[in-house]
Amino acid sequence: MTAMTIERRPLLALRDVTQSYQLPRTSLFGPRSSFTVLDGIDFDVCAGEAVGLVGESGAGKTTLTRILTGMERPQRGQVEFDGQDLWAAGAAERTRFRRSVQMVLQNPRSSLDPRMRIGTALLEPLRSLRIEGNHTRRIHEVLDQVGLDRSALGRFPHEFSGGQLQRIAIARALMPNPRVLVADEPVSALDVSIQAQVLNLLKDLVQDLQLGLVFIAHDLSVVAYTTSRVSVIAAGRIVEVGRPVELFTRPAAPATRNLVDAVLTVESGLAGTAL
Amino acid sequence: MTAPAAIEVRDLHVVYDGLAAVRGLSFTVPAGGRMGLVGESGSGKSMTALALMGLLPPGWKAQGTILHDGVDLITQTDKALSARRGRTVSMVFQDPMSSLNPVRRVGDQIADVIRRHGGVGRHEAMGQTIDLMMQMNLPRPEQLARSYPHQISGGQKQRIMIAMALACYPQLIIADEPTTALDVTVQKQVLRLLSAATRERNSALLMITHDLPVIAAMCDTVAVMYAGRIVEYGPVRQVFRNPRHHYTRGLLDSQPTMDNIALDGSSRLTSIPGMVPPLPALPSGCAFHPRCPVATDICRARMPEIDAATGAACWHPVAASQPAVAS
Ligand SMILES: Nc1ncnc2c1ncn2[C@@H]1O[C@H](COP(=O)(O)OP(=O)(O)OP(=O)(O)O)[C@@H](O)[C@H]1O
Ligand SMILES: Nc1ncnc2c1ncn2[C@@H]1O[C@H](COP(=O)(O)OP(=O)(O)OP(=O)(O)O)[C@@H](O)[C@H]1O
Ligand code: SF4
Ligand SMILES: [Mg+2]
Ligand SMILES: [Mg+2]
C-alpha cells in the first residue's frame, strides 16, 4: 500500500473537496440552511488506470463527476490536472483541461441529438472546443478504436441499437483526444450481452490509449470487472477504498456491506439465498 | 387432480401487416407457479405480455390460444377483457411514472381497483388500501395514500403499482421489468415483497426481464426468448446451470460475477457479437445463426423446434456437461 502511494502520479485528482447547496428558505425571514453533498473528498486517477466509484442513490456520485470535469467549482479543496490547480490556472490551461477530460453519460439515446447525423455529432466536440486539424482522419481513427463501420457516419441515432449508440457516445468523447474519460452508469441502460461488448471496449481503451477512466455503476460486478481500484461513497464521504474484488468480498464499512448484501447473482438466486 | 393452470399459451403469434414480433410461443404457468421470460431488448417479451392482457398496440393482432380462467382470451371481446384486467389477471408495468395517473392521489388509485372489482363501498375500499400499503412496507400509509405520484420516491411508486396489481387476488400477475429502474437496495426489497405477496395469495407470476439474477431468485421455470420465439424452456436451475442453447449460454457468459473476475484485471467477458435482428430482417432457419459460434448449414436452412430431451431449440445443443456458471 505504501509503495503504491509513493509511485502514484495522478493525472486528475480531487484534494479535500467539499461542496454544499443552499436549501430554499422555509420561511420568509428564516435562515437559509445548507446541505453538504460532498465532504472532504480525496479522489484520483492515473494514466492507464480505471477507477470505480460506487454508492447508494443520492450519495453524491454525480456531483463528484461534475466537479471532476470542471462543470462545477467546489467550495473548498482543489481539482488538480497534471499537477496544476484547475481553478487557479490561466485560460490556456483551462482550455487544455476541457479537451483532456471528457464524459460519457448513461443514456446514449438522450445524449445524442436525434436530428443530427452521426458524422455531424462526432464533429460537435471539436467545433465547440475549437480544435483545428484534419477532422476526417480523426473521425476514421476514432471509429476504428470503438469498432464501428464508416457507414455509420451518414445515419441517424434511431437507426442504431443501444449498444451501438453507446459506442458512438464513447467515440464522440474520444474525438478531442482526451486523457481522462468519466463514465456515469454507461452500461445500465444496456442488455447483458451488449453490456459486455461495451465493458470490453472501455477496458481496451484504457490499455491501448493509456486513458484514465473514472467509472460509476450500481452493479458491483460490473465495477469489479472494469476497474482496478474502487472508492465507496456514502452521504458525501469516501468511506472505503481498495481493490474491487477484495473490497466487495470482504467489505469493512457498513455502507459497502449494504451494497454488497443487496447484490443478486445467478448463483445466489439458484441457491435460494438471494432474497 | 391438480388445479387448472393459471395460463396456458399455445402457438401464440403477434403480427402486424406481415411483421411478426412473436412467432409460435407455447408455455404454461401452473396455478401459483412462477415463470421467467428472459431475452434481449426487442426479442418480443413485452409484446407477449400485452397480448395476454389484451392491450396490444393499435394494428397488432394476437393469434393462437391463450387459456385462462376457463376461457380462450383470444376469442374474448375487448369489453370482457377489460372487465377481467385487474381481477383475474393484472400487470405491473416497467415504468411506474407512465402508468400511474399523475393528477390522482395514489391511495385513490388503489381504491379504484378494489371498488371496480370488489363491489365494496368507498370507505371499505380505503381501509383495504391502507392494509395493502402496510403489507407493501410503505412508511406512514395514511399520509402516503394522500400523496400524488410525483411526491413519492421511485421505489415507493413501484410498490404502489404492485399493490394495485395484487388488490383483487388475481390468478396471474404479469410483471414487466418491475425493478429495472431501481437501485440494488430498493430492488431487493421490492422483489421480496412481490415474492411474499404472490405466495400468500397463491397468485401465479410471469416475470419478464433481461436480468438473469432476478429470474434465478424469483422463478421456478424460465423461457428464454430470441427473435420472437422460445429457444430454451425448463426449470430455472437446469437451464441456468446447464444451458443447452448457444444463446442462453452466451447470456450467462456475458454476466460478470465476483467469482469469474481475475484479481489482476486480466479477465475478459465473453460477449455475444452482433445484435438482435430487426423484425423486417429476420435471418432464415435458426434466427440466432449469424451470432452463433457453431452454426452450420442446417442452422441457416431450417428452423429448429424445442427438443423434449434438451429443452432447447437447437440443431447442435451445448453438451450436457459444460456448466456456464462457475461454481
Ligand atoms: N443542485 C442541487 N441542489 C440541491 N441538492 C442537490 C443538487 N444536486 C444534487 N443535490 C442532492 O445532492 C445529493 C447527491 O446527489 P447526486 O446526484 O450526486 O447523487 P448520486 O450519488 O449520483 O445518486 P444516483 O445514484 O441516484 O444518481 C442528493 O441528495 C441530491 O438530491
Ligand atoms: N408499437 C410498435 N410498433 C411497431 N413495432 C413494435 C412496437 N412495439 C414493439 N415493436 C417491435 O416488436 C419487437 C418486439 O418488441 P418488444 O417490445 O416485445 O421487445 P422486448 O423483448 O419487450 O424488449 P425490451 O427488453 O427492450 O423491452 C421489436 O422488434 C420492436 O421493435
Ligand atoms: S440451431 Fe445452430 S445456429 Fe441456432 S443456436 Fe443451435 S447451433 Fe447455433
Ligand atoms: Mg447519479
Ligand atoms: Mg419490453
Residue among B60, B130, B125, B49 at smallest CA distance from B93: B49
What ligand has the least distance to the C-alpha of B37?
A: 2
Domain count, chain B: 1
Query: Which one-letter DSSP state was computed for residue A31?
Result: P
Q: Is B230 a domain residue?
A: no
Identity at B283, one-letter amino acid code: P
Does residue B161 contact residue B100 with C-beta atoms inside 8 Å?
A: yes
pLDDT at residue A259 is higher than 80: yes
**A130-151: pLDDT as tens digits:** 999 899 999 999 998 888 888 8
Contacts of B186 in chain A (CB under 8 A): 57
CB contact under 8 A, B213 and A194: no
pLDDT at residue A4 is higher than 60: no
pLDDT at residue B54 is higher than 90: yes
Contacts of B195 in chain A (CB under 8 A): 275
Q: Using CA atoms, how far apart are residues B72 and B9, in angstroms rounded to an integer?
A: 9
Q: Is B319 a domain residue?
A: no
**B273-295: pLDDT as tens digits:** 877 777 778 899 999 999 999 99
- Domains in chain A: ranges and CATH: 2-271 (3.40.50.300)
What CATH code is carried by the domain that includes residue B64?
3.40.50.300
Mean pLDDT for A105-120 is 86
Report residue B264's pLDDT band, with 50, 70 and 90 as the boundaries: low
Contacts of A196 in chain B (CB under 8 A): 254, 256, 269-272
Q: Using CA atoms, how far apart are residues A142 and A122, in angstroms rounded to an integer?
A: 9
ipTM for the predicted complex: 0.84
Which of A8-12, A260-264, B259-263 has maximum average pLDDT? A8-12
pLDDT of residue B139: 81
Report residue B265's pLDDT band, with 50, 70 and 90 as the boundaries: low
Q: Which chain B residue is nearest to residue A219, measuring alpha carbons?
A: B184
Q: Which chain B residue is nearest to residue A189, measuring alpha carbons?
A: B180
CB contact under 8 A, A56 and B185: yes
Distance A3 CA to ligand 2 centre (A): 53
**A65-109: pLDDT as tens digits:** 999 999 999 999 999 999 999 999 999 999 999 999 999 987 777
Q: Is B246 a domain residue?
A: no
Domain that holds residue B23: 7-225
Neighbours of B239 (CB within 10 A): 25
Ligand 3 pocket at CB < 6 A: B 245-246, 286, 288-289, 292, 294-295, 299, 304, 314-316
Report residue A194's pLDDT band, with 50, 70 and 90 as the boundaries: confident
pLDDT of residue B240: 96
Say what the pTM is.
Answer: 0.82
Q: Is B312 a domain residue?
A: no
Distance B297 CA to ligand 2 centre (A): 29
Q: Using CA atoms, how far apart are residues A120 and A152, in angstroms rounded to an integer?
A: 11
Percent of chain B with pLDDT over 90: 64
Across chain A, the runs of DSSP E, i.e. the strands, are 12-22, 34-45, 50-54, 76-81, 84-85, 101-104, 180-184, 212-216, 229-234, 237-242
For chain B, say whether A197 makes contact (Cβ under 8 Å): yes
Q: Is B280 a domain residue?
A: no
Identity at A161, one-letter amino acid code: S
* Stretch among A92-106, A167-181, B163-177, B178-192 having the lowest mean pLDDT: B178-192
What ligand has the least distance to the C-alpha of A183?
A: 4
- Nearest CA residue ID for atom 6, ligand 3: B314
